[in-house]
Structure 1
Amino acid sequence: MIDKLKENWFVVLVAVLLFTACGYFVYDMNKDKLPGKKADGKDVVAELAGTNIFADDLYDDLYGAVDSESSLGTSMLYMYFERAVADEAVPMTSELKSQISAQVSGVRQNYQAYYGDQWETYLLQGLQASGYTSIDDLEAYFTHYLKLQTLKHENYDANLDSLFSKIHEEKKSRTVSHILVKMTDPDNPTEEEQKKMDDIDAALASGTDFAEVAKQYSDDSTASAGGALGYVDSDTSFVTAFKEAALSQEKGTVGDWVQTEYGRHKILVTETDKAALEADESIRESLYTAIDSYYPEMGAKIVWDKAQELNVTFSDPKIEEALKAYMNITE
């Protein structure tokens, strides 16, 4: 049957194969990536957060809890379904390969630096929480992740104007820069700290560009970038006093000094125009994050629509029902 399916230009097959009254699903493009092991004499089809998922349990979950959005079996089904669609929809390119390689290398280095001799143990735990079973699956993880992101972001780009409209209107979207004078006791600036603030005020009053003043005086890591913090809206995780000031200012204005636990800040709102924000490639990833947050079910809808475009087939209507319920698809 698999060979026959492969004669078509594309088929994603989600099948339930019965083995001594036990079942599990596969799709033909990714069948060799599914875990294959036994524990306590039973087939293990996946591992999630360190817990073995057995074929018979998965079968029971799929067929016994079709209407349950929290079904473990359905969540695993969606995980593989999502990966299958993204894998087929997004071609592997040299740029994508480079991104995957960079991510894998970066994660390995970070885990080794942070966890020392135990880095593999902690990395494996993280992979298992996403349904993978070994350290060697790290490349597969980033392949799936980056392909899925590409699929979603292509859709976001094509519909950016409509998707961003409500976010921009409701959440006061803007780009912001700042200058920080770091202080041990922000309530009581030292003479040196006060002089630095006075020098900053004098430089800005004289017409010196905000970015140049930030490069010269700011104690923040953003100084080299002219104090640029990038995209900010009402959901941004900033200290309350800072965020409130940033969201209250008009474009092009430099506000009064704002006190936070880090010291005193001068804030400049650099852009608020919707079209300008959409055109700014430097904040595009932040816009994607804002869209993800505002439309939490959109990612699943994009996967489902792409699956329909690619002519997904199901071996049993119960599986389709389970997926649609889990993904909140109401068509």
Structure 2
Amino acid sequence: MMQSSHKKWGKLASLGAVAVLSFSVLAACGDKADNDTAKTDDSKVLATYDGGTVTEDQFNTELNVMKFLQPTYASLMDSAEIKNYMLDQQIAYNYLEGKATDEEKKKGADMATEQIDQLKAQVDQEQLDTMLTSQNITEQDLTTYMTQVMTAVQYMSDQVTDEEVQKEYDANKEAYITADVRHILINFTDAEGSKRTDAETLKLAKEAKARVDKGEDFAKVAEELSEDPGSASNGGLYADAAVSQWVEAFKKAAMEQEVGVVGDPVKTEYGYHVIKVEKRNDTLTDEVKESVRRNLASTKLNDFMEKELKGITKSKEEFKDEEAPAAGDPNGAPAEGTDGTSIEGTDGAATEGADQGAPADQGAATDGSGDAGTTTDTKTDGK
């Protein structure tokens, strides 16, 4: 079933775009100064809202920037559903940027620069030139878009009160707890693929713990024995990880086990874990406050898109997908004997695929964290 397009594509096309700059285009960009002067825009007006307009040139530039930021979903962005959302998005960003104070605009510009600098640190000039050109945009277009996004983020962040931050943290504290955790995983299946019994697996885990208890370095024992490919080479360490991502038993140990003490083996569906919590952040620090504030700002932006945008929009063009001609006739007439019946299963295929392909919420752990027993859908080799 399709989700609300505002909710689904809000992840792809609004605040999620900020993270995408750091992750989706890493192998595709670099650094180039844009010396283009401002161009006169006399293109068609697609929308009017309280305080301004969105032109066809502006909209197409935004669409191309999003294709650059989200290459995996570029083909889906030509659908009417996504174009209509993107036009709503541009109205919202334009409007919120106009509401922002000079200080909020400065912070937005600084955050955009930081995002783009992170990208430039990982790619080269030639790649950037190629990717920007392929989407018919310039670095200035990218900078302008990111500045507008981050200004909207900053504006919404400033609408979040300290009382709202505290209330959100108290209600969802577990979601904000992070920890540095080392573990040694002994799988229920050995390296050759043979099954181990529960007793055999527990015995090996206790032997690993005994070595650490006798004074051996936890990291070295983990490198030697742990069967978690996501952390073994790193001494079993998951640093500054969100504990909420892990399966229940592992999460409970990360939240409750005494810091610095190696606990008894913990059983999960993957095997037995020997766990040492090296650090745990379970208080409302300034850093956590900022994380909570960003999450609430994202919620406020989504609420604005769904509840207030219509009220500020005076007129807006609606995009519609072209209907494909009936089989057998390029002019649209049904083929003889078909009675104009559509082919079963083709209706909505593109949008269903888009729904299934929508990215996960920002902040979900990647980078092999499933090997510690995360609550992810894809499980490999018992990790």
What's the TM-score, normalizing by structure 1? 0.48
TM-score by length of 2: 0.43
| More strand, by proportion | 1
